[in-house]
């Protein structure tokens, strides 16, 4: 059974008014436990509206969201419980920090779950460790931290609730290249340790290529592709028509393949090197 499934999922803003606009229409996907899903699409494609329906922040105007086979809106009064199971980290989540100390900020979520003090503390320290926050930072005000550290505090606050599904909306936006690489590595490490399900929304095709095992492509409110990462990025021309670009190394290898070189679709520089080094050692010969 999929951990999350959508059936004819639709969301229309301003329904019944002159400003009516359908942002998501008839999306049908199934996500299995433990998958790492990339979600891509140009601005206005519907991806943010889509993910906000997965944990009940937006109630569908049509269709359903199933969590472990159950409609999340079957009991509207229990929608808060769904948000403990499906955690959401918004873009620039550090803007939501508000507590006196980092420790209190991270523990706010699990505190709302009615857990005991010992369990809250355990989860808080584990979440801080997952995102690479040093122990000495926990008693500091979150507003004294660097931008990257604030981002990690905000993400730790969601991780501390130990959600079965973690949704990250542009988690590396605004970070410098080193900060982006560090945070992305920590998210991957968390996924490998926790074995939960992650949905990563990103404009960085390189980030998606490095992390996701499947990719959902949104365009004009529709799910136009949902397949293994390498299969999606093999459609480079279709993606470019939607205003998306494949990772640069994928594009380079596609050009080489079109010119007759014996190479296949790759997602990372490391994968490309494995194909190119033997080819160079043989003199870089094309197919006969």
Same-domain status, 128 and 69: no
Measured over the CA atoms of residue 259, residue 262, residue 264 and residue 266, the dihedral's sign is negative
Same-domain status, 69 and 10: yes
Residue 212 domain-assigned?
Answer: yes
Same-domain status, 233 and 255: no
Examine the fold and report which residue of 242, 258, 273 is the final residue of a domain before the chain moves on: 242
Q: Which two tokens stand for residue 266?
A: 């790759």
Write the CATH number for 217. 3.40.50.300
Helix (H, G, I), strand (E, B) or coil at 118: helix
Residue 89 domain-assigned?
Answer: no
Same-domain status, 55 and 171: yes
Query: Of 59, 52, 63, nearest to 25 (Cα)?
Result: 63
Residue 215 domain-assigned?
Answer: yes
Same-domain status, 67 and 172: yes
Examine the fold and report which residue of 119, 142, 162 is the final residue of a domain before the chain moves on: 162
Same-domain status, 98 and 157: yes
Res 284: pLDDT: 60
Cα-Cα end-to-end distance for the chain: 47
Res 111: pLDDT: 93
Same-domain status, 100 and 210: no
Residues 6+ apart with CB under 8 A from 82: 55, 56, 67, 72
Residue 273 domain-assigned?
Answer: yes
**CB 11: neighbour CB atoms within 10 A?**
23
Same-domain status, 29 and 169: yes
Same-domain status, 7 and 56: yes
Residue 114 domain-assigned?
Answer: yes
Examine the fold and report which residue of 162, 189, 205 is the final residue of a domain before the chain moves on: 162
Residue 79 domain-assigned?
Answer: no
Residue 80 domain-assigned?
Answer: no
Residue 85 domain-assigned?
Answer: no
User: In which residue are the tokens 């359903």 written?
Assistant: 64
Phi and psi of 47, rounded to 5°? -65, -40
**pTM of the entire predicted model:** 0.89
Q: Do residues 249 and 273 touch, judged by C-beta distance below 8 A?
A: no
Same-domain status, 121 and 257: no
DSSP letter string, 195-264:
--EEEEE-S-HHHHHHH-SEEEEEETTEEEEEEEHHHHHT-HHHHHHTT----HHHHHHHHHHHTT-S--
* Domain range for 266: 247-282
Same-domain status, 265 and 147: no
Same-domain status, 116 and 55: no
Question: What does pLDDT average to in each consecutive run of 10 residues of the chain (288 residues)?
Answer: 97 93 97 98 94 97 98 96 94 86 94 93 93 91 89 93 95 86 91 95 91 96 96 90 88 86 85 87 64
Overall number of domains in the chain? 3
Q: Do residues 32 and 3 touch, judged by C-beta distance below 8 A?
A: yes
């Amino acid at each position: 059974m999929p951990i999350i499934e959508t059936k004819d999922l639709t969301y229309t803003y301003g329904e019944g008014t002159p400003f009516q606009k359908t942002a998501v229409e008839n999306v049908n996907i199934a996500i299995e436990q433990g998958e790492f899903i990339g979600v891509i699409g140009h601005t206005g494609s519907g991806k943010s509206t889509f993910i906000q329906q997965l944990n009940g922040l937006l109630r569908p105007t049509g269709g359903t969201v199933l969590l472990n086979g159950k409609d999340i809106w079957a009991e509207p009064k229990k929608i808060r419980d769904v948000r403990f199971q499906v955690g959401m980290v918004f873009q620039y989540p550090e803007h939501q920090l508000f507590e006196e100390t980092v420790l209190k900020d991270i523990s706010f979520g699990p505190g709302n779950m009615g857990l005991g003090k010992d369990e809250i503390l355990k989860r808080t320290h584990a979440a801080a460790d997952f995102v690479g926050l040093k122990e000495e930072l926990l008693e500091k005000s979150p507003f004294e931290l660097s931008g990257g550290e604030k981002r990690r505090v905000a993400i730790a606050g969601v991780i501390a609730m130990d959600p079965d599904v973690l949704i990250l909306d542009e988690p590396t936006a605004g970070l410098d290249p080193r900060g982006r690489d560090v945070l992305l590595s920590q998210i991957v490490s968390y996924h490998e340790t926790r074995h939960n399900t992650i949905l990563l929304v990103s404009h960085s095709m390189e980030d998606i290529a490095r992390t996701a095992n499947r990719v959902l492509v949104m365009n004009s409110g529709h799910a136009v592709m949902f397949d293994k990462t390498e299969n999606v990025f093999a459609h480079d021309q279709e993606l470019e028509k939607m205003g998306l670009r494949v990772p640069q190394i994928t594009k380079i290898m596609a050009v080489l393949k079109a010119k007759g070189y014996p190479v296949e679709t790759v997602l990372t520089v490391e994968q490309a090197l494995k194909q190119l080094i033997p080819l160079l050692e043989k003199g870089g010969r094309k197919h006969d």
